[in-house]
């Protein structure tokens, strides 16, 4: 099938000073997610030697939908954090034994809890005290007396930022699978029109074999740049580009823009891909490397294949259905030499 073709035929317990209160197992999500689309409930460890303050925080956080554990001293908190690794530790600074600052330092020193979010709560607003907490590794500081709404807003904001960072590809800084799933599932739930482009590189293994994994990473970064810049230039700033993993990417665009976006990606990728090669390999248009059978074989330069699923002729009941159609089209196009794309035109 030629580049740009449409395919119609293919295609919660008290123990050792530790308490736990769990949010309801099923709760309405503020983002409107439907059944089966809930995000995991964030777990927060509250650490305060004042039973009254600890209970106030616990009740408020549980009401806000969090899964809460409570520890009344630093030693118990450290043991629980190392055993269960909560998403966030909300700790009072002034406690006997291991205080909040020392607790923070120990959590940061252990690889199991080094990346946990930590907010320190203190009655002192002195800059030197805050600096000591930040130097130990705290992410935020709040001074008593505090406004409950402000505290919970800070908790939610810190957790939201952490989710975004965890969901990013460390190589390309693009949204990863969690965000990709959320984006497609939201569109499917709302029955909104969209086009899903699933992209994959051809002959990428041969490129990795010849040039090594570091250069392979550079090729993936180049691809990410081509996709993001081209898709946003044509589809606008709300066009979503995500990194599935390896050399697989997705673009989620406004329905009707997919042909122009796909064609522009193919053309730009083919212009930039030769820069990944030595002058000799780029000029001859192929590399020689061992095949899976151990035989010396010629492989063409990397190209890009794009399979596209849209809502023009289909309605999807689950995000995975759209992904499967786009992936099927992508696999089909990989049989075509060179960079190419195709839209699924079957009715379903």
Q: Are residues 150 and 244 in the same domain?
A: no
pLDDT at 33: 44
Provide CB contacts within 8 A for 206, sequence distance 6+. Answer: 287, 289, 299
d(CA 192, CA 109): 47
Residue 5 in domain: no
321 and 196 in one domain? yes
- Give the chain's count of helices (H) and strands (E): 11, 14
Question: Does residue 286 share a domain with residue 196?
Answer: yes
Read off the CATH number of the domain in which 255 is found.
3.30.70.270
Please identify, among 105, 132, 166, the residue that sits at the C-terminal boundary of a domain. Answer: 166
pLDDT of residue 21: 52
Identify the domain boundary among 141, 166, 191. 166
Q: 159 and 36, same structural domain?
A: yes
Check whether residue 188 and residue 256 sit in a common domain: yes
The answer to whether position 134 is within a domain reads yes
> Residue 46 and residue 153: Cα distance in Å, rounded?
16
Task: Specify if 172 maps to a domain.
Answer: no
Extract the tokens encoding 300.
């063409």
Which residues lie closer than 8 Å to 16 by C-beta, 6 or more apart?
76, 79
Answer with the one of 142, 166, 190 that is the final residue of a domain: 166
| Range of the structural domain that residue 216 is part of | 179-344
Q: How far is CA 298 from CA 155, 221, 231, 288, in A?
A: 55, 24, 32, 5
156 with 195, same domain: the answer is no
Q: Answer whether residue 4 is part of any domain.
A: no
Q: Which residue ranges of the chain lie beneath pLDDT 50?
A: 1-2, 6-20, 22-38
Domain count across the chain:
2
- Within this chain, do residues 130 and 62 fall inside the same structural domain, yes or no? yes
Q: Looking at the domain assignment, is residue 275 inside a domain?
A: yes
Q: Do 153 and 192 belong together in one domain?
A: no
pLDDT in tens, 284-301: 999 998 777 778 899 999
User: Among candidates 115, 208, 225, 207, which has minimal Cα distance to 171?
Assistant: 225
| pTM given for the model | 0.65
**What is the 3 state secondary structure string of 235-274?**
HCCCCEEEEEECCEEEEEECCCCHHHHHHHHHHHHHHHHH
> Using omega within 30 degrees of 0 as the cis cutoff, is the peptide bond preceding 332 cis?
no
Q: Would you state the pLDDT for residue 19?
A: 47
Give domain status of residue 1, yes or no. Answer: no
Cα gap 128→134, rounded to integer Å: 10
Q: Do residue 142 and residue 265 come from a single domain? A: no
CA–CA gap between residue 106 and residue 113 (Å, rounded): 9
What pLDDT shows up at residue 4? 53
Q: Are residues 156 and 184 in the same domain?
A: no
Question: Can you give the pLDDT at residue 3?
Answer: 52
> What is the C-alpha R_g of the chain?
26
Specify if 340 maps to a domain: yes
Beta-bridge partners for 240: 252
Separation between Cα atoms, residue 77 and residue 192, nearest integer Å:
46
Taking CB atoms within 8 Å and a gap of at least 24, the contacts of 280-283 are: 281/210
Task: Say if residue 187 is in the same domain as residue 332.
Answer: yes
Residues 159 and 259 in one domain: no
Q: Quote the CA–CA distance of 187 and 315 in Å, as a whole number.
A: 11
pLDDT of amino acid 148: 82
């Amino acid at each position: 099938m030629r580049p740009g073709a449409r395919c119609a035929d293919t295609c919660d317990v008290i123990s050792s000073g530790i308490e736990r209160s769990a949010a309801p197992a099923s709760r309405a999500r503020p983002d409107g997610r439907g059944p089966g689309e809930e995000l995991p409930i964030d777990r927060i460890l509250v650490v305060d030697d004042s039973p009254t303050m600890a209970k106030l925080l616990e009740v408020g956080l549980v009401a806000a939908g969090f899964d809460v554990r409570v520890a009344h001293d630093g030693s118990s908190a450290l043991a629980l954090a190392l055993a269960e690794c909560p998403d966030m530790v909300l700790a009072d600074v002034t406690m006997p034994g291991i205080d909040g600052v020392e607790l923070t330092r120990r959590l940061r020193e252990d690889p199991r809890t080094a990346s946990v979010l930590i907010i320190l709560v203190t009655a002192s607003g002195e800059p030197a005290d805050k600096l000591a907490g930040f130097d130990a590794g705290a992410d935020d500081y709040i001074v008593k007396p505090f406004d409950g709404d402000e505290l919970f807003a800070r908790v939610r904001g810190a957790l939201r930022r952490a989710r975004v960072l965890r969901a990013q590809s460390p190589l390309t800084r693009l949204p990863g699978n969690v965000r990709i799933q959320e984006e497609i599932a939201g569109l499917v739930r709302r029955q909104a029109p969209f086009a899903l482009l699933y992209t994959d590189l051809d002959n990428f293994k041969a490129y990795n074999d010849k040039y090594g994994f570091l250069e392979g990473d550079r090729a993936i970064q180049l691809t990410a740049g081509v996709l993001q810049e081209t898709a946003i230039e044509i589809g606008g700033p709300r066009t979503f580009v995500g990194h599935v993993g390896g050399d697989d990417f997705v673009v989620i665009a406004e329905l009707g823009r997919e042909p122009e976006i796909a064609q522009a990606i193919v053309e730009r990728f083919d212009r930039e891909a030769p820069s990944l090669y030595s002058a000799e390999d780029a000029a001859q248009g192929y590399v020689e490397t061992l095949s899976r059978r151990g035989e010396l074989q010629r492989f063409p330069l990397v190209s890009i294949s794009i399979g596209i699923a849209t809502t023009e002729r289909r309605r999807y009941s689950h995000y995975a259905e759209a992904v499967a159609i786009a992936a099927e089209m992508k696999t089909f196009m990989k049989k075509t030499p060179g960079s190419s794309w195709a839209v699924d035109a079957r009715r379903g």
